[in-house]
Amino acid sequence: MIDLDAIATRIDDAARLAEPVAQLTTSESFTLEDAYEIQRASIERRIHRGESMIGVKLGFTSRAKMIQMGVDSLIWGWLTDTMLEEDGGRVALDRFIHPRVEPEVCYLTSREMDRPLTALEASRYLEAVAPAMEIIDSRYRDFRFTLEDVVADNCSSAGLVIGPWKRNFDGLRNAGVTMRFDGRVVQAGSTAAILGDPLRSVVQASRLISQSGLVLPAGSLIMAGAATAAHALPPGAHVHCAIGGLGSTEFTTWRAS
Ligand code: OOG
Ligand code: MG
């Protein structure tokens, strides 16, 4: 029997100490289902340390991300309060190993989600939508992993910044997305890259959560997944992401040591 809790401790320590580890699947053999168990056990360790759950994230909802990372299945993981950075604020990079940033769309739920929703129903479960960026930070050396590895590592979740909320969910089927470092465009694309319409990420989130026998409380965040490939995040950068018709969000990075 493989010890899922011991593996969860290993990956949680890597995140907590910002110390990269070898891919788990090079020394252990486990299924995708086990990987979600490891993910859950590692999140429980965070909860025991006082972090609280604020929502979920989807990964690999765009071709750009699948191609960049060589993985081709939709995945999901948890977001906790310590990951949330202030819009317009300063983000210290010391808690990360090799952070990258990617442009996303974030939804806020208005009702408990306890079953798979249809595309028609999805917007009735939503309170608001905002432009967002996710900071991902694989705990694996060289940011390389298999599908099972990345799921066990809570899908590389590390940070998020959310811009101003809007209540109108229309107009995001094909909105322009631009991410800039110090005014220079580093990634550009469209929200259409996210499953053809980022609202489909809400449908997928409802499906994945209920498949796992879980319920997503009202007031949760759903990060829809990156619209473009991710970009390495250096210290001293001003990072800005604009989504057409939705608005923008930004932050500046620094490093103490
Ligand atoms: C895994 C997380 C993928 C996204 O938005 O597609 C993800 C990774 O790329 O490290 O967050
Ligand atoms: Mg992401």
Calculate how far, in angstroms, residue 60's C-alpha sits from the geometric centre of ligand 2. Answer: 8
Q: Are strands 157-162 and 231-232 parallel, antiparallel or unpaired?
A: unpaired
Calculate how far, in angstroms, residue 168's C-alpha sits from the geometric centre of ligand 2. Answer: 22
Give the nearest ligand 1 atom to 138 CA.
Answer: 10
The domain in which residue 145 lies consists of: 4-254
At 200-250, the pLDDT tens digits run 999 999 999 999 999 999 999 999 999 999 999 999 999 999 999 999 999
Q: Which two tokens stand for residue 222?
A: 């759903």
Calculate how far, in angstroms, residue 1's C-alpha sits from the geometric centre of ligand 2. Answer: 32
pLDDT, position 1: 77
Establish how many alpha carbons lie within 13 A of residue 101's alpha carbon, considering only the half-sphere containing its beta carbon: 29
The CATH number of the domain holding residue 56 is: 3.90.850.10
Mutate to test the pocket of ligand 1, among 69, 222, 223 (most ligand atoms within 8 A of CB): 69
Report the nearest-CA residue for atom 8 of ligand 1: 156
Give the nearest ligand 1 atom to 143 CA.
Answer: 10
Closest CA to 94 of 135, 133, 55: 135
Mean of the pLDDT values across residues 91-97?
98
Calculate how far, in angstroms, residue 226's C-alpha sits from the geometric centre of ligand 1. Answer: 7
pLDDT at 257 over 90: no
Please count the structural domains in the chain: 1
Q: Which two tokens stand for residue 225?
A: 């997944």
Cβ pair 52, 216 in contact under 8 A = no
Report the nearest-CA residue for atom 10 of ligand 1: 156
pLDDT, position 252: 98
pLDDT, position 242: 98
Report which secondary-structure segment, H or E, holds 132. Answer: strand 126-136
pTM of the model: 0.98
Closest CA to 96 of 14, 197, 195, 209: 14
At 129-185, the pLDDT tens digits run 999 999 999 999 999 999 999 999 999 999 999 999 999 988 899 999 999 999 999
Give the nearest ligand 1 atom to 60 CA.
Answer: 6
Give the nearest ligand 1 atom to 156 CA.
Answer: 10
At 24-54, the pLDDT tens digits run 999 999 999 999 999 999 999 999 999 999 9
Calculate how far, in angstroms, residue 25's C-alpha sits from the geometric centre of ligand 1. Answer: 18
Give the nearest ligand 1 atom to 61 CA.
Answer: 6
Q: Which two tokens stand for residue 227?
A: 């619209």
Calculate how far, in angstroms, residue 217's C-alpha sits from the geometric centre of ligand 1. Answer: 23
Closest CA to 103 of 248, 215, 213: 248
pLDDT, position 72: 87
Task: Name every protein residue with a CB atom under 6 angstroms from any ligand 1 atom.
Answer: 57, 59-61, 65, 69, 102, 134, 136, 138, 150, 155-156, 225-226
CB neighbours of residue 84 within 10 Å? 15
Cβ pair 226, 195 in contact under 8 A = no
Report the nearest-CA residue for atom 4 of ligand 1: 59
Calculate how far, in angstroms, residue 100's C-alpha sits from the geometric centre of ligand 2. Answer: 10
Q: Are strands 84-85 and 184-190 parallel, antiparallel or unpaired?
A: unpaired
